[in-house]
Chain A
């Protein structure tokens, strides 16, 4: 605590009651640090971790990531690894705009699309142009930055919300133009809904990197994505540590104050915008070189929400945070695709959530017993009255759970709809209850949630993954707006 009090060390220590020796705002801003300092062993560990330089973490992360293909040789895992690297890049770029610049850019995915389409146009049979990768990628990155500047231009005079809507409209427009791009004054430029196919893979100095190697996903693309990630990460890190990074952050904290201090606010907004756009365009080229095709619907708002969920979950403003967020969200999406994993994940989350909410108290014991008993009682009654409603699985975790939760062999649609509606209503209702009333009311809700998850959501992974992402966004910004690794920010009023 002593290092937080500046001034002459020989001066008599101020008693706590006289208030802080530093300025009030600073005192407020350092509240987090002081709490950490008091945090015992855990706080000490966190402080030690904070003392480790950022590049050490980066090198460690890259080392672990590059060993991954050696451990797991399946093409599926490598492809997921590549996708994760792409998402990490996109999250890093969005972090510049949202996390550092404080601008809500809802057209971000359009720049990803611009990069992808530009690469497809300049390196495919579509127009017979085959630019070498070494030329195409930097050129398209710069192109992305320029278009970012153009789109950012109207934002000069716009406050946050207006910028959000202009960029969102830009994304919508991008999709429209790409969809109708096969009839621009009679020319077919973007291929319309059919997209552009047979895009060249990456090639360096005449050597083409094949997409498939011995029938499975070639690991070289994974390493290319990782390498680009490392370069972008370091470049953005330096930008953030430099003068422009500091100005971005001041812009985020208070645009008006920054302007009064003589900062070129408009120029700063534009550069943040263009940097994000350049990173997105760069990512688009790599993605397209692997998939070999682009379609307008690859760049829909759903991708945008996914990237936002990554940035918010990890902690906007923290590079390590958004990378972590990208990994977690992408793994989550993959897990939701697989019924068995999705089932395990759900019950795991319920157990962890209940543990975190109640700790090891008598309430927890009551809750657990009530929930388990309730399930078996309902299951027993229903299987006696209406056996087809309570089919029992045979093996594994799903078999185990099917003795507890009802899994009708065929679910009538209205039952699922009513159950979902009642579930949402009762979750809303339970937030109004306090104390023991909540403990008593929670088990039926949990049971209903399990019923809905098993019968309605696991069979429909498409909508489910986006429902989960939407909920994740809402819950996160309310419960933990600075994410997992976000900077502690204090609003000074």
Chain B
């Protein structure tokens, strides 16, 4: 088990290293952000002094190793905008994003899984058609537009919820709802497909002909076998949650990592960009690892290690 865990962590870290190297390469090949920071009237000496203080005057390979060394030590340097350490800025933003991500994911699971189950059980009914339609529309609508429409509905037409800000539970509702609609669509779709497949298996027919009550057939017999694709869907969705949180946080003024990343990218503040990317990747890595281990808890036939 430990060797499996080690192997997975190694793979994950390798993935992060690859992405960071790519980012480093792109950032360094395409010029430096010094010009953006200084007013156009800055003299050549000023530019040179600034460049030196950020280390842009060294050769590329040298900078790459310095960069890797810094990554390992979680030393990302100072934000180009605020001159404060990027690590601190990012860590400060992390809780808000975690809160939003898990709220959205829970909302999606709470509504998407039951909807998917109902749709699968009453296949062909109006409810099923509605669920299929919802999941198709939900997966084709950009998160930022859902957010805008929700603000329009509940912030402007029926002003019951605060359209932006952070702090109270009421502030969480709209961002989490906008983020979860896309997830809910995927969750409904996967639950429905997976359960329909399982309900067609002979063992379900056996259970029914034994006289087991229908809700027990579904909840106890079928659902357990249909659960693996649903968990996999959760794994895949964490990427979308984080991707979507960039937009949702920007729209709602939610002080999380996503908003930070968008702002930093806009200002080309790359210590902050790299630090946020690293933390986002680490978070997804840990989350997916945890879900992987839940596979064998759900289905004892699955053994991830020998």
Specify whether A and B are partners. Answer: no
